[in-house]
Amino acid sequence: MAGSGKISARQKMINLMYLVFIAIMAMTVAPEVLSAFGLMEEKFEKANEVTTDMNTKLLANLETKGKENPKEFAAASNRAKQVSIASDKFYRFLESQKGDILRMGGYEADATTGRLPFEKMKKGDKLDEKWFTGDRLTKEGDKVIAAIEQYKKEIKDILGIDQYYTKFIENFDKKFDISEVRDSEGVKKQWLDYHFKGFPSIASYTKLTAMQNDVKVTQADLNNLFLGNAAVEATSLDKYKAIVLADKSAFFAGEKFQGRVVIGKYANVPPTALEVNGTKYDVSKVIDSTGAARLDFNVGNVGEHKIEGKFTFLENGEELEIPIIDANYVVVPRPNSATISADKMNVVYRGVSNPMTISFAGVPDNKVRASAPGLSGSGGKYIMKPQSGREVKISVTGTLDDGSTASDSKTFRIKDLPKPLGAFNGQNGAKLPRNNVEIGKLSASFGDDFDFSLPLNIQSFTMKVPGKPSVNCTGNRLSSAAKTALRSARRGDIVQFINIKAKATGTSVRIKTVTPVVIELAN
């Protein structure tokens, strides 16, 4: 065994017995077992080649987007390059360890086929001598642990504190977890000891190749996140506009303005600063539970007034300013304009019943008439069911106390239902046991940001298992053919559910294809 300093006679005897034990174990390993490890190693190598090619293309795509649209993709492209550098460095380190296994054991690939002599790679004593001394790690063993920790740190430093990557970091920590492990007898062992000590060379060689595969998959996952392909989850905040929603659009002279400032649609992202008309607000006091900022100030003299300012958010580690634009209010001595606001949002959705409140300032609800294609209701409360087109104009007439009438109108944008988000057993991108996948089911929803209750039913989908043809399924569960394909998959394989078709309950509007679902097999 490798070590330094004087070794007692007792320790020498223990070391000798250990080497004899390892030698005996190596001789008793069946050739079929060694061959099986070799076949696994070859499959991991092929998977690494495919993933490397995919990462190269994704990185090139990000670089191109970064040049064409630097505002949106420059930061993502830069992060992808940093991830590539860190991943390549760690990958090469693992490759050097694999090279040492071959060199120390005197193993060489077949000159014709290029295959390693799997059945001959029994002994693991050389690697044990390199990484372990007694119950401790050698300097070389410490280097392995240090390299893993360094890789984890570099990836996390690149991602920073951005909440967008929280789920990824959780999975990343699990994938590269090197904490102590309890063996079958309940004894705690160091991670490197538990996974490599006493194993045949081909087993250790294959495990290192599998870790290289984890590195490549990690890089691919991050590249996809940087490109915005993850589900998830996310629309950048610079796509939103700050909008003022006044409690009413016209005020009498001497009144105080009361209303809210929101960012497009309510978002659970707290701002770091808010400034309106030159006044800086304490965000800890003015932001309510919905994410809206409550404003309270004197409205000023009769006439039209503009509201100007900005929200400041922290995104991708940098401050992002979102200006308040197209915001104004009118101070009037008597009612002459209508207040029309959508209860759910400043747009209406096709295929659902959109609740709306329509009123005329200073006019009772029973003297207000509103009309538009697809609009029904009375008494200030209406339901809008948008028809064809991209906009709908709502016309409002109010009868004043003197019998005269005042009219106003407003145009709302009509939006199609958003793309549904797919999930398997309520999860996406998760790691599940094979049996859970076999008996589980797909589901779809419009996400937490969609304010309407519109249940979706899965009609059909396609399942893809690595190395097997795609399987089309009807309904939301795996067919017999899909289960058969699933049983051929290996631990760590990525099972994909694509081409997911769904139908909404209570509407005939066509639903967009559901976002794909990705599950990693845990066994």
Read off the pLDDT band of 234 (50, 70, 90).
Answer: very low
> How does pLDDT run across 354-390, given as a tens digit for each residue?
888 888 776 788 889 999 999 999 888 999 988 888 9
Alpha-carbon distance 102 to 476, whole Å? 48
Cα-to-chain-centroid distance, residue 320 = 21
Alpha-carbon distance 401 to 362, whole Å? 9
Where do the H-state alpha helices sit in 176-266? 191-196, 201-227
Please give the average per-residue pLDDT across 144-167, as a whole number.
90
Cα-to-chain-centroid distance, residue 342 = 31
| Contact criterion met (CB below 8 Å) for 291 and 268 | yes
Q: Of residues 379 and 230, which shows the higher confidence score?
A: 379
* The pLDDT value given to residue 102: 85
Alpha-carbon distance 509 to 349, whole Å? 11
Cα-to-chain-centroid distance, residue 98 = 33
Q: Residue 94 burial by CB count (10 A; 0-12/13-18/19+): exposed, middle or buried?
A: buried
> How does pLDDT run across 186-198, given as a tens digit for each residue?
888 899 988 888 8
Q: In what order do the strands lie in the sheet with 328-331?
A: 250-251, 328-331, 303-306
Token representation of residue 189? 């062992």
> How does pLDDT run across 499-515, given as a tens digit for each residue?
999 998 877 788 889 99
Alpha-carbon distance 481 to 475, whole Å? 14
Please give the average per-residue pLDDT across 455-471, as a whole number.
93
| Contact criterion met (CB below 8 Å) for 428 and 518 | yes
Token representation of residue 422? 């797919």
Placement of tokens 């009219």 in the chain: 407
Please give the average per-residue pLDDT across 256-277, as a whole number.
68
Placement of tokens 């590539």 in the chain: 84
Q: Distance of CA 342 to CAs 270, 345, 469, Å?
A: 24, 5, 48
Q: Which domains does the chain have, with CATH numbers?
A: 9-227 (no CATH), 234-331 (2.60.40), 334-416 (2.60.40.10), 421-521 (no CATH)
Sequence-distant (6+) residues with CB within 8 A of 52 are: 216
Alpha-carbon distance 139 to 71, whole Å? 46
* Bridge partners of residue 319, in order along the sequence: 314
Please give the average per-residue pLDDT across 439-446, as a whole number.
92
Please give the average per-residue pLDDT across 453-466, as a whole number.
91
Confidence (pTM): 0.42
Please give the average per-residue pLDDT across 282-288, as a whole number.
76
| Contact criterion met (CB below 8 Å) for 274 and 280 | yes
Q: Label residues 505-520 b or e (16+ Cβ within 10 Å = b).
A: eeeeeebeebbbbbbb
Cα-to-chain-centroid distance, residue 390 = 31
Alpha-carbon distance 441 to 456, whole Å? 13
Torsion of CA 112, 114, 117, 118, to 10 degrees: -140
Torsion of CA 395, 398, 403, 406, to 10 degrees: -60
Cα-to-chain-centroid distance, residue 100 = 38
* Bridge partners of residue 181, in order along the sequence: 189
Highest mean predicted confidence (pLDDT) among 57-66, 323-332, 426-435: 426-435
Secondary-structure breakdown of the chain: helix, strand, coil percentages, each rounded to the nearest 5 = 35, 30, 35
Q: Of residues 240 and 92, which shows the higher confidence score?
A: 92
